[in-house]
């Protein structure tokens, strides 16, 4: 007997990817229920090759008897409905920022800190980290295990799909408009995204950082090591899918690039493609639709005693969101739930 799974925010970019991933990985579900706002009720979403899910209303939905709730509806919606689902006995895996920094909610990347999953019992909620955090800690963990990391400086190059389907539409429409010599006013982005880069993701904080940059710092410290210092600049770029990060890492002791390359190559979920010739690296276009976190451009940084540089790329909708959530559910199903 399998599990009953509810996907909340089922019509969004991540929700659709979660449904696709559940099918692709043959998650042991007897029933998958698609939930969204009342405006989406009745919409149909494909599940596997032969099934169609008809979207139901989240408002008023009874979570009794639901084993897993995979939430990706936006923080304000999760704030209301995730605790309601958890109180009904449903284990919530929440992809929003709402619960990530709560001390009694585990923030989990299974390959990095999977041992913390069992802490879900405190509130019946597990938080999925931010997409840019997930791929970064995937690449940092095997190195941090070898030699402790002291400080990270990271610049991110984040695709528009991280802001939702409407953001992808804006990039498409504004790119086409430029070719048609038709100037359009930005709606979702603070400046034109087509043929441009915008050093601003989420709201500005009092210290001049953006919330996205603050998330990277706090989530990395919670997942990996509270003593790691991190400085981030998060940039929205005109690509549709796939986030890239340029990482400069300072260790407490020397780690040479060959040791780093070997450790990364052996790490679960990480693929090293690092060849020093034209095209010998991974780009966002290459990683779209793939599950792995890719690492390229691994090299010593001679400007500091114990420095290393690398380039990290991953599909932000898959490992950065949907795949990570489904992997958490798989771990729970295999090791933490009453047998079905």
Active-site residue among 81, 90, 243, 287? 243
The per-residue pLDDT for 338 is: 66
Q: What is the CATH number of domain 132-316?
A: 3.30.360.10
DSSP H helices, 44-164, are 75-87, 110-113, 131-146
Q: Which pLDDT band holds residue 183 (cuts at 50, 70, 90)?
A: confident
Alpha-carbon span 24 to 32, nearest angstrom: 13
Alpha-carbon span 24 to 321, nearest angstrom: 15
Alpha-carbon span 102 to 89, nearest angstrom: 20
Share of the chain above pLDDT 90, in %: 96
The per-residue pLDDT for 335 is: 85
Residue 42 pairs with which residues in a beta bridge?
Answer: none
Token pair of 147 as six digits: 């030699």
Which tens digit of pLDDT belongs to each residue from 273-327?
A: 999 999 999 999 999 999 999 999 999 999 999 999 999 999 999 999 999 999 9
Q: Which pLDDT band holds residue 222 (cuts at 50, 70, 90)?
A: very high
- Let me know: does 129 contact 224? Beta carbons within 8 Å: no
The answer to whether the 3-129+321-335 and 132-316 domains have the same CATH topology is no
- Residue 340, pLDDT > 60, answer no
Per-residue buried b or exposed e for 295-329, using 16+ beta carbons within 10 Å of the residue's own CB? bbbbeebeeeebbbbbbbbbbbbbbbbbbbbbbbb
Say which residues have a Cβ less than 8 Å from residue 193's Cβ, sequence separation at least 6: 160, 167, 170, 171, 174, 186, 236, 238
Q: 40-44, long-range: CB within 8 Å, 24+ apart, which pairs? A: 40/10, 40/11, 43/11
Among 8-12, 82-86, 180-184, 322-326, name the one with the lowest average pLDDT: 180-184
Q: What is the pTM of this model?
A: 0.96
Q: Which pLDDT band holds residue 1 (cuts at 50, 70, 90)?
A: low
- Let me know: does 126 contact 95? Beta carbons within 8 Å: no
The per-residue pLDDT for 337 is: 77
Residue 198 pairs with which residues in a beta bridge?
Answer: 236
Token pair of 290 as six digits: 């793939």
Task: Give burial (CB, 10 Å; 0-12/13-18/19+) of 264.
Answer: buried
- Residue 138, pLDDT > 70, answer yes
Q: What is the 3-state secondary structure (H, E, C) of 56-90?
A: EECCCCCCCCCCEEEECCCHHHHHHHHHHHHHCCC
Q: Per-domain residue ranges for the chain?
A: 3-129+321-335, 132-316
Alpha-carbon span 206 to 21, nearest angstrom: 38
- What mean pLDDT comes out for the span 207-211? 98
The per-residue pLDDT for 336 is: 82
Instruction: Kindly indicate whether the domain formed by 3-129+321-335 is annotated with CATH number 3.20.20.10.
Output: no
| Residue 131 annotated among the catalytic residues of the structure | yes
Give me Rg for the CA atoms of the chain: 20
Which tens digit of pLDDT belongs to each residue from 140-177?
A: 999 999 999 999 999 999 999 999 999 999 999 999 99
Which tens digit of pLDDT belongs to each residue from 45-95?
A: 999 988 999 999 999 999 999 999 999 998 999 999 999 999 999 999 999
Alpha-carbon span 264 to 98, nearest angstrom: 31
Active-site residue among 131, 144, 234, 287? 131
Rounded to the nearest integer, the mean pLDDT of the chain is: 96
């Amino acid at each position: 007997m399998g599990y009953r799974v509810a996907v909340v925010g089922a019509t969004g970019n991540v929700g659709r990817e979660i449904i696709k991933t559940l099918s692709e990985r043959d998650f042991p579900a007897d029933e998958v229920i698609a939930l969204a706002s009342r405006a989406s009720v009745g919409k149909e979403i494909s599940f596997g090759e032969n099934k169609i899910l008809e979207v139901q209303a989240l408002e008023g939905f009874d979570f009794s008897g639901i084993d897993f709730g995979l939430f990706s509806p936006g923080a304000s919606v999760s704030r209301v409905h995730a605790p309601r689902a958890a109180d009904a006995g449903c284990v919530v895996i929440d992809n929003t920022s709402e619960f990530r920094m709560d001390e009694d909610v585990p923030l989990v990347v299974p390959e990095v800190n999977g041992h913390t999953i069992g802490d879900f019992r405190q509130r019946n909620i597990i938080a999925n980290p931010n997409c840019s955090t997930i791929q970064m800690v995937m690449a940092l963990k095997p190195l941090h295990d070898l030699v402790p990391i002291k400080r990270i400086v990271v610049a991110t190059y984040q695709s528009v799909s991280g802001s939702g389907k409407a953001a992808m539409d804006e990039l498409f429409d504004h790119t086409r408009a430029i070719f048609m010599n038709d100037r359009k006013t930005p709606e979702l982005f603070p400046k034109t995204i087509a043929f441009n880069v915008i050093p601003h993701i989420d709201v500005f904080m009092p210290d001049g950082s953006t919330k996205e940059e603050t998330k990277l710092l706090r989530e990395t410290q919670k997942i990996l090591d509270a003593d790691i210092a991190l400085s981030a600049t998060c940039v929205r770029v005109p690509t549709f899918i796939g986030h890239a990060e340029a990482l400069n890492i300072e260790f407490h002791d020397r780690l040479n690039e060959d040791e780093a390359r070997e450790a990364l190559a052996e790490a679960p979920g990480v693929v090293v493609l690092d060849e020093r010739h034209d095209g010998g690296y991974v780009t966002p276009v290459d990683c779209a639709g793939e599950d792995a976190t890719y690492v390229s451009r691994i090299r010593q940084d001679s400007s500091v005693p114990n420095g290393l540089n690398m380039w990290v790329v991953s599909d932000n909708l898959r490992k950065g969101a949907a795949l990570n959530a489904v992997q958490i559910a798989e771990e729970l199903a295999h090791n933490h739930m009453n047998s079905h």
